[in-house]
Amino acid sequence: MQYRDLREFIGAVEKMGELSVVKGVDWDVDLGEITDVLVHQLDTPMAVFDEIKDYLPGFRVAVNFTGSYKRLALLLGMEEVETGVRLVRAWRELRAQRRLLPPTPVIGSPVQENIREGKEVDLFELPVPKWHAHDGGRYIGTASMTITRDPENGVVNLGTYRHQVIDEKTLGCFFNEYGRHALVHARKYHQRGESCPVAVVVGGDPALFVFSPTHVPEGISEYDCAGGLRGEPIPVFISDLTGLPLPASAEIIVEGEMRPGDEVKEGPFGEWTGYYGAPEARRPAIRVNRIMFRHNPIILGYSPCRPPSNNTLLRSLQASATIWDAMEAAGVPEVKGVWCHESGGGRLFNVVAIKQLFPGHARQAGLIASHCREAIRMGRYVVVTDEDIDIANLSEVVWAMSTRSDPRRSIEIISRTLGGDLNTAAPPEEVYTSRAIIDACRPFEWKDRFAPTVGVSPERAREIKRKWPELFR
């Protein structure tokens, strides 16, 4: 890979000509609103904000690091730049080639250049943005990685959650109830009457962030996955405070504890659904005991916003690959593609392409795709199409739905499925949701007599664009 930490990633982006440095913005909403506009247009530059109001030069915030397919390829260590289903297929192949590599211990780290402990701890020393106008406060946890350890089996987890700065020494945390490892680990400690040691990495190695927001299989650490992606172990040092392995490449690390029954008011926050989800409520607190940061530290921001956006692109890729894996593991044959659409936040509107082999094949594909682990929480729609549809192109998906499905026979509604804390389509007390499976394939029983389509094949279209590039700039 072309980078080993966030600074090297930013350097590689600059060499690509896709970096902008912005000076003098206000951390209070301005920075967040600039980011919101920036991430709603593909191929806008990665931005590094410096000389932020009220802060010394060098205390920076970086955003929009997945805002182009070239930067996404850089992030994932891909040699070729792909899009849509070809990108998902390339990512699955890359993952399959890599083996898990556990982290390797090192002595010391640049993140220890500045250490604040005890009375010196002040989270407001860092230029934490208020990302959205109606957020409950300033959120340091957007592209962060929360590190905890399972007290029973010792597996270390890195997960991405939202963290609000409540005061100089306290973070408020939002964890969805469905199987979030940090919450599971904390409860195991609390059942023993113990506090849960925790570290929050802000401005970490982007390769670690590839895995921290995703569903990594039980018993496997995100450190091992990121090492496999790199082809070399992630260097870590062991904290003398929490005992946790901490990434030596980090810009900022916040260490503390989650105490039994300790809660603070957290929220609201502008979420990936495009709404202010999960209103202010009492939620778990992290009491901060130490902050470490490099000289001229960089906060990596990945603020959620109304989809579709560049922030959704990485999520769409990851979820698509994981659902595809789950479908094949469940025995669904001839899956030709999966794409979790950006407009659904990479979760709510998912499309599967198959080559139909038997009656009911489309229903099988839709049911598995809607209820595997990656899709189970707050899934809403799954559309199943034939393999000739470019499922990453929403216009083609709607065309297939409009011309190959009949509402009476093609739509299945499944009730009482798992909802979520950010389900805007149900009242806050509702734990269930429903979901629809839409069969937009040619009807199997007469698919060979279905009207032929008009137009050129995707392969022929690519050939035409290569041959006459002056027409397709």
Task: Supply the DSSP string of 319-383, one letter for each residue.
Answer: HHHHHHHHHHHTT---EEEEEE-GGGTTTSEEEEEE---STTHHHHHHHHHHHSHHHHTT--EEE
Q: Which of 279, 300, 321 is the last residue of a domain?
A: 300
Model confidence, pTM: 0.91
Q: How far apart are CA 396 and CA 339, in angstroms?
A: 13
Q: Which amino acid is at 101?
A: L
Closest C-alpha among 417, 413, 433 to residue 425: 433
The confidence band for 188, taking pLDDT boundaries of 50, 70 and 90, is very high
List the structure tokens of 442: 């040619």
List the structure tokens of 90: 């390339």
Q: Which amino acid is at 451?
A: A
Domain tally, the chain:
2
Would 191 be classed as within a structural domain? yes
The confidence band for 456, taking pLDDT boundaries of 50, 70 and 90, is confident
**SS3 of residue 92 by DSSP:** helix
The pLDDT score that the predictor gives to residue 219 is 85
Q: How far apart are CA 118 and CA 255, in angstroms?
A: 11
Same domain for 46 and 130, yes or no, is yes
**Degrees (nearest 5) of the Cα angle 123, 199, 188?**
125
Would 81 be classed as within a structural domain? no
Element (H, E) at 121: none
Would 35 be classed as within a structural domain? yes
The pLDDT score that the predictor gives to residue 179 is 60
> Tens digits of per-residue pLDDT, 193-249?
999 999 999 999 999 999 998 878 778 999 999 999 999 999 999 999 999 999 999
Would 407 be classed as within a structural domain? yes
Same domain for 150 and 273, yes or no, is yes
List the structure tokens of 281: 């409520």
Same domain for 263 and 324, yes or no, is no
Would 73 be classed as within a structural domain? no
Same domain for 151 and 255, yes or no, is yes
Q: How far apart are CA 23 and CA 266, in angstroms?
A: 30
The pLDDT score that the predictor gives to residue 279 is 86
Give the E-state strand segments of 142-275 in sequence order: 145-149, 156-159, 162-167, 170-174, 196-202, 235-238, 245-247, 252-258, 263-266, 269-270
List the structure tokens of 159: 């997960």
- Model confidence at 429: pLDDT above 80: no
Q: Which of 244, 277, 300 is the last residue of a domain?
A: 300
Same domain for 237 and 283, yes or no, is yes
The pLDDT score that the predictor gives to residue 177 is 66
- Using an 8 Å Cβ cutoff, are 291 and 308 in contact? no
- Model confidence at 384: pLDDT above 70: yes
> Tens digits of per-residue pLDDT, 89-102?
999 999 888 889 99
Same domain for 137 and 55, yes or no, is yes
- Using an 8 Å Cβ cutoff, are 136 and 128 in contact? no
> Tens digits of per-residue pLDDT, 432-447?
889 999 999 999 999 9
Q: How far apart are CA 85 and CA 393, in angstroms?
A: 10
Same domain for 327 and 228, yes or no, is no
Would 88 be classed as within a structural domain? no
The CATH number given to whatever domain includes residue 191 is 2.30.110.10
Residue range 402-422: mean pLDDT, rounded: 90
- Give the range of the structural domain holding residue 364, as residue numbers without chain letter: 310-471
The CATH number given to whatever domain includes residue 394 is 3.40.1670.10
Would 55 be classed as within a structural domain? yes
The confidence band for 116, taking pLDDT boundaries of 50, 70 and 90, is very high
- Model confidence at 178: pLDDT above 70: no
Same domain for 372 and 461, yes or no, is yes
Q: Which of 234, 269, 300 is the last residue of a domain?
A: 300
**Degrees (nearest 5) of the Cα angle 269, 350, 359?**
155
The pLDDT score that the predictor gives to residue 157 is 94
**SS3 of residue 18 by DSSP:** coil
Same domain for 325 and 264, yes or no, is no
Strands 298-300 and 156-159, bridge-based pairing: unpaired
Same domain for 329 and 261, yes or no, is no
Same domain for 287 and 318, yes or no, is no
